[in-house]
Amino acid sequence: MALENRAISGVRAKLFIGSTEVGFATGVSVTENIAQTPVELLGEINVVEYEPVGRTVSMTASVVRLKKSALRDLGLWPSGGTIDVLAFGAGNSIDATLIDVGDSDNQVFARVKGLKPESLSWRVDRAGVSTVDCTFRAIQLFEEAEA
């Protein structure tokens, strides 16, 4: 069966990193955490209030490999030794855009700013579909209205 005729079900997102189209993605998850610290008052047993002290964002996705191009080949994942990995992405922001391909307008439903690669693994399922599971840390999440 030719690759162009292969049916892939359950995929509704298309992933772009910067201006590079990475491909279709399934199992996309973006998490934004706002760290809260308790405000405590001397002589009061209960916490008075919580104040935000930081925000973290992470993104995971299973990218379906259709183009036979690894993320390293696309320049989206570091390779080489220590210096290469430390220098990867320094001085420039790597951003991801997620598009809803199930929507007739191909609407952007999220943009993640300042990606830093964290983990990478790949698998081939019993139907022969090859996916790359990747996790990134990020600076900020913009949802539909903001993206």
pTM of the predicted protein model: 0.76
Q: Does the pLDDT of residue 129 top 80, yes or no?
A: no
Tokens of 18: 């910067």
Q: Quick one: CA dihedral 71, 72, 75, 78, positive or negative?
A: positive
Give 39-104 as a DSSP string: E--TT-SS--EEEEEEEEEEEEEEEE--S---TTTTT-S--SSHHHHHHTTTTS---EEEEETTST
DSSP structure class, residue 146: T
Q: What average pLDDT does the structure give for the chain? A: 81
For residue range 68-79, what is the model confidence (pLDDT) as tens digits? 677 887 777 888
What band does 33 get if pLDDT is binned at 50, 70 and 90? Answer: very high
